[in-house]
Structure 1
Amino acid sequence: MSPPLPCPKRARVATAPCGAGAPWASLPEDLVQLIGWRVLSGDLLDYVRFRAVCAHWSRSAARPRGRGLLDPRFHPHRYPEGHGLYPGHPAFGGHVRFLNLSTGALARLHLPLFHDHVLLGCTDGLLLLLRHRDPGDTAVRLLHPFTGDVAELPPLSSLLPQMEHYGNMTEDRKLCTLRGFLSGVSAAVNVGPAAAGAITVVLALEIKLLVAHATTGDQRWTLLAGRLPRLLGPMVSFHGNLYAVTPKSPQRNSVCIWQIDPDAAEGRSLLPPRIIAHCPLVATLGAVHLVECGSELMFVGFNDAKPTDLAVYRVADLISGRVVPITNIGEHALFLGQRPLYASQNKGLPSVVANSITCRYRVTKNNPLRGGRPLPRSTEQYHIGTGTWSPAMDGDISCWKGIDLRQALTCSSILFLPVATTATGVKVSYSTIKSSLMGQ
């Protein structure tokens, strides 16, 4: 693994002196560590603040830098970024915003790698980047955005010699094939034993229906023999594995859940995708979106029998394939796009409507909000409990020119979470947090 990236010089976070009379100074080191791990289970930034309380706590609790990739406890799970993000654009000013979808905490930081890298995908808050200094440069890196830890992976071009008809490919055709890899990439990360320091990344190239994997130290990506079956929707990373849904029958009233396990690649070839569950459905579905919601896996699809309805299923048991239709996801809201995600309604995200699904309406001519007019697909909100639709926001975000990048956070290629003015009170002072992550 590469050393952490250097960061601009900033004032280090001052820690309070631990006087003899201070009660926190007398806490045993192992107790401080235990409390620290409990805090870390909520939010990495809260853990940074915890370490900044005093010098004793800072010494007793493990430093994130250098462990950001190798210890999954330090992965920023609830800070996703959208596929294709390219902060080298002048409108970003060289910075990237990260939003905690559970708490609404906002962090803004400068990432030097984005000067000549583009985001392939995000898994567990870790950024998979592709370098593009010139057409032949396809180096891949895994970056922890909060600590600067980087893992070097083989160039993506190493997949080309394993492709069919490679010997007859022109240089332009090779570049065109590589570009095809970049559309619809899902990734999963498996961290080996800390002593080994090995990180395995599995890429699902959904447009090509191919799977590849590589471990830090490898010279090339290894392409899995065969292809993925036809998918009903994007794949999702859940608990370190990749999952996909395919139709089991032509009627689509039963689906199969597939699993790709990166852990199986350690020390040997990656096992092919396998079916882990056959799930009968109450309704026949069209496109199906897998999405993690809290600690559970769900899938959502439009009901073919009633196109104005969305059906939501909770995967109650991956082993037995038992799925349960539900009409309540509590305080959560689902956002369906190129990469589905969920957010939680709280004071940090006041614009999020609980128990709802935001997506592009499927059948525009029957859209109850459009009066039957065949207008472009709009982004609207489906209320699960009542089965009704409402506008998700004022205006049409499909018109890119009207979007102020400082007022919107990219969550996928087509969906945005607006930064409400009431959320300014929870913005993170990132100069303070970054200094603590990098330097303490």
Structure 2
Amino acid sequence: MVYTGRRDWPNLPTALIDDIADRLLSHDVSEYFRLRSACKEWRRCTADAREGCNHLDPRFRPRRWIMLSNGTDGDGRRFLNLSTGASARVDLPELSRHHLEASTEGLLLLRDKASHAVRLLNPLTRALTDLPPVTADLGGAYAVWTGPFQSAARIIYAGVSDETSPSSVVLLMADRHLGRAIAYAKPGDQRWAVMDDEMWRADNPMWCRFSSASTLQGRFYFATLEGHVMHARLCPEPRVVPVVVEQPNTDHNMFCYLVPPDNDDHRCGGGMLMVRYYLSLDHLSADERRIMKRRRKVMDVIRVEHHVRENRWNLIQVFEVDVAGKRLVPVEDIGRHRAVFVGDVACFSFSARRFPCVAGNAIHMGALGARCPPVGVRYLADKTADPSFVFTTDVPGFLDCISVKQ
């Protein structure tokens, strides 16, 4: 028998709509927005991500979306979903009156060009969250935040911590000339608070020690130039908590990059990684250097063309961050379908199944300016490396800014 009756789609049971909405949110938040735009009844019985109390709701963050272009394309920017491969061009007139300072979980941290006000933009919903102003009484945080945009000495990382309710935004701000600070605030707060911890104080307070940052299961972590992994904990007492501190200090000869997990549930695999890049082998003994150079085909040591003779031998190591065990677990294989991209602006990974033109089981390295390492791609399976390549900021397609194994 063929059913020919009319389906009353707008008046589906609320429980069924809730179940569909939850499934869409776990897949891609943009699909949830399409559900709400289908009809008035579905929109009425689902939460509006644009409401003030929902701006930082973990369910509505475009976590796996990244902005591909920060070039001059009017107010338009291109975004890519690392999980689904979906892409979208979004008009963001907000960028004409704001500096884009950082990105976290798909959200864009903005600074008003005129007032230096702090705002968080969801590029998919266009929801704009106002945060407290960074005022002069915050000392180093104020100096860095209001400092020259795109200064080579200035670094700002942002993260969202779900340790508070509502969630808080954490800023890592540093400038070699103006100092550094960790500030945090949530919507509704009157002012930012500065995390001031004795163990965070270094002998040289003017040196920028942040290296990269990542969020894992609602907690905000960052790496230091010494190779440590720290947790910017907000509850029960705001302080910097060391997670991994056993790494050697290499006199700033090492860059460390934290790569967010492929899946927010660490038990499902694809956990948070640390990629360490040594500019030389000076941290090793003479015997260790000789052994690594002889066995370079089975180790991670790389010979590169470099104008500094001492820096012709480089070392790349990959670790999984075991937060519970407070250790780094060496990783020689990240899976034939996982591709990791690391750099000063962003670190991320995705499945090469979704993007077959991208080499899997490889570390794609990119950075800006003098920090750019002389290695483009490190293939973990055969221990080979491609020469460095140029990243562009405004490209007609994603394929133009990635490397392909020939």
TM-score, with length taken from structure 1: 0.66
Matched, 1:105 2:86: yes
For residue 314 of structure 1, report the CA deviation from its aligned partner: 0.9
For residue 335 of structure 1, report the CA deviation from its aligned partner: 0.9
For residue 42 of structure 1, report the CA deviation from its aligned partner: 1.2
Matched, 1:162 2:123: no
Residue of structure 2 in register with 1:322 after alignment: 327
1:190–1:263 CA contact under 8 A, matched in 2 = no
Matched, 1:223 2:194: yes
Which residue, 251, 260, 273 being the options, matches 2:240?
A: 273
Give matches, 1:361-440, under 5 Å.
378=374, 380-390=376-386, 396-397=389-390, 405-408=394-397, 417=401
Which residue, 224, 232, 236 being the options, matches 2:214?
A: 236
For residue 205 of structure 1, report the CA deviation from its aligned partner: 1.0
Matched, 1:356 2:331: no
Counterpart Cα distance in 2 of 1:151 and 1:379: 39
* SS of residue paired to 1:37: helix
Residue of structure 2 in register with 1:258 after alignment: 230
* SS of residue paired to 1:209: strand
1:360–1:380 CA contact under 8 A, matched in 2 = yes
1:69–1:149 CA contact under 8 A, matched in 2 = yes
Counterpart Cα distance in 2 of 1:210 and 1:97: 32
Matched, 1:139 2:114: no
Mind listing any 5+ residue stretches in structure 1 that lack a counterpart?
Answer: 1-18, 265-269, 365-375, 411-415, 421-440
Tell me the amino acid that sits aligned with residue 230 of structure 2: W
Counterpart Cα distance in 2 of 1:174 and 1:103: 35
Q: CA RMSD in A?
A: 3.9
For residue 261 of structure 1, report the CA deviation from its aligned partner: 2.4
For residue 263 of structure 1, report the CA deviation from its aligned partner: 4.9
TM-score, with length taken from structure 2: 0.71
Which structure has more RCO (C-alpha within 8 Å, separation ≥ 6)?
Answer: 1
Show CA shifts across 1:362-392 (max 9, x none).
xx9xxxxxxxxxxx95551111122111357
Tell me the amino acid that sits aligned with residue 122 of structure 2: H
For residue 185 of structure 1, report the CA deviation from its aligned partner: 1.0
1:277–1:319 CA contact under 8 A, matched in 2 = no
Counterpart Cα distance in 2 of 1:243 and 1:48: 30
Show CA shifts across 1:14-54 (max 9, x none).
xxxxx963286675321221122012111112223444566
For residue 107 of structure 1, report the CA deviation from its aligned partner: 0.9
Cα–Cα, structure 1 residues 406 and 246, in superposed 2: closer, same or farther, change >3 Å? closer
Residue of structure 2 in register with 1:45 after alignment: 30
Residue of structure 1 in register with 2:64 after alignment: 78
Percent of aligned pairs sharing the same letter: 27
2:116–2:146 CA contact under 8 A, matched in 1 = no
Deviates more, 1:321-330 or 1:231-240: 231-240
Cα–Cα, structure 1 residues 64 and 333, in superposed 2: closer, same or farther, change >3 Å? same
1:140–1:152 CA contact under 8 A, matched in 2 = yes
Cα–Cα, structure 1 residues 274 and 27, in superposed 2: closer, same or farther, change >3 Å? same
Residue of structure 2 in register with 1:332 after alignment: 338
* SS of residue paired to 1:407: coil
Residue of structure 2 in register with 1:31 after alignment: 16
Show CA shifts across 1:202-253 (max 9, x none).
1111443321122333343333335555747323333333323347xxxx7x
Residue of structure 1 in register with 2:99 after alignment: 118
Counterpart Cα distance in 2 of 1:151 and 1:174: 18
**Stretches of 4+ aligned residues off by more than 6 angstroms:** 177-182
* SS of residue paired to 2:390: coil
Counterpart Cα distance in 1 of 2:163 and 2:327: 31
